[in-house]
Structure 1
Amino acid sequence: MRIGELSERTRTSPRSLRYYEQQGLLTSDREHNGYRDYGANAVATVQTIRSLIEIGLPTALVKEVLPCTVGEKSEAACPELLARIAALREDVRSRAERLKDVETALGSYLEANSR
């Protein structure tokens, strides 16, 4: 399938698809006219890439864990993926706690100065 069809089927811009390919996340064959030709599993791959990016994984990490997430999985999730996601979750929790502290301080300031 060509880039336009993949873009439409995954609701991902052609620019993003080219970026994924540039980063080594997605592969295509080139036709004689230079057009990209994506394989049948490209839709699932792009959906997985987008999901991993949406949960906060940078593309460099997505590249490392992507093989654990595509295709037939006969065993539990890839241990590296689980470890990296656990670390990411801990980072998110830490940031959330810091933001909560800032929100509390700002609320106290507003309350003290609005009287």
Structure 2
Amino acid sequence: MYIHELSKLTNTNPETIRMYRKKGLLHPNRLANGYYDYSMADFASLMHLRKLRDFSMSFHEIEQALCADSSQFLLDSFSAREKAINDEIAALQEKIRYLELEKRHIRETMDEGFDSVRIMQSVDTKIDFYPPFEEVASTLLSLHYQTTTICLHISKEILNGPIVDKEIPLQAGIGTYRYMLKDKTDIPEKAVVIPNGLCISQLISLQDLTRINILSLAPMMTCAKSNHTPFLSDTTAYLATMNYQQDKPVYIFRLRACIEKNDICDPDTRIQN
């Protein structure tokens, strides 16, 4: 059969077939008119080669797989690819969990008002860093952008103080969860630690990440005072979303701080804020 017939039969581009022939992987007879006559043997070879390529084997590996004693090579190669695929599946499943987290935070910004609060259970210690943090920032971001968050720092002394109309300095930083650190026992010296436990949280909308009015924190501060549960930690935060209004960015954060420490740590649900 001519190359266009083999191309149609195998759904393979003619240029790909020519490449296999030039690499010596197909052996059609050359006719007197200069055209190549591909046999059913070439069809079988091409189907096998396409299968190996679909398993992401390189041409060098394919040449090795075509040696006389190739069975063990193929077994080892396929085992390595199986492990790589399983690792990729695990990574994709983890990415799905992070996407679910992001979706949950976005839904909360849609469903909850900025005057409402939630008492929620965190499931891991939060490790936050604030400027200057050049060294730790590169380390955290080497983990994954998906596992780091922009955080906001307000001291527990402010949270436990009076609710007054007063602007205070606000710090923005970067944070992650302890289980994401390579050494899960040693917390870096410069870290601000938000312990695992019950937290009071609220949504907050900001344009300026350097200052905040204490009245903006009134919902969570009032909740803590009315329940006689003083804050045991400074704040952390999770940037749920951002948008632009009149060409200026608006940041929607879930702000939280701990009111009761505990040791709940479920690895299946710990990707929460």
Q: Does 1:85 align with 2:78?
A: yes
Structure whose residues are more often helix by fraction = 1
| TM-score in terms of structure 2 length | 0.34
1:108 CA drift (Å) = 3.4
Aligned residue in 1 for 2:59: 59
Amino acid at match of 1:107: Q
Q: 3-state DSSP class of the match of 1:62?
A: helix
| Cα distance in 1 for residues equivalent to 2:48 and 2:67 | 10
**Backbone CA RMSD of aligned residues:** 3.0
1:57 CA drift (Å) = 0.6
The structure 1 segments of at least 4 consecutive aligned residues displaced by more than 6 Å after TM superposition are none
Q: 3-state DSSP class of the match of 1:27?
A: coil
| TM-score in terms of structure 1 length | 0.72
Aligned residue in 1 for 2:212: none
Amino acid at match of 1:108: T
Structure whose residues are more often strand by fraction = 2
Amino acid at match of 1:4: H
| Cα distance in 2 for residues equivalent to 1:33 and 1:15 | 20
The Cα offsets for residues 77-104 of structure 1, whole Å up to 9 and x where unpaired, read as: 822211122223334445x28955x945
The Cα offsets for residues 34-87 of structure 1, whole Å up to 9 and x where unpaired, read as: 10111221222111111110111112211221467xxxxxxxx82221112222
| Cα distance in 2 for residues equivalent to 1:110 and 1:4 | 55
| Cα distance in 1 for residues equivalent to 2:28 and 2:34 | 11
Q: 3-state DSSP class of the match of 1:41?
A: helix
Amino acid at match of 1:113: L
Show structure 1 runs of 5+ residues with no match. 69-76
Structure of higher CA gyration radius: 2
| Cα distance in 1 for residues equivalent to 2:50 and 2:41 | 14
Show structure 2 runs of 5+ residues with no match. 99-143, 151-237, 241-252, 254-273
Number of matched residues? Answer: 106
- Indicate the percent of aligned positions where both proteins have the same amino acid: 25
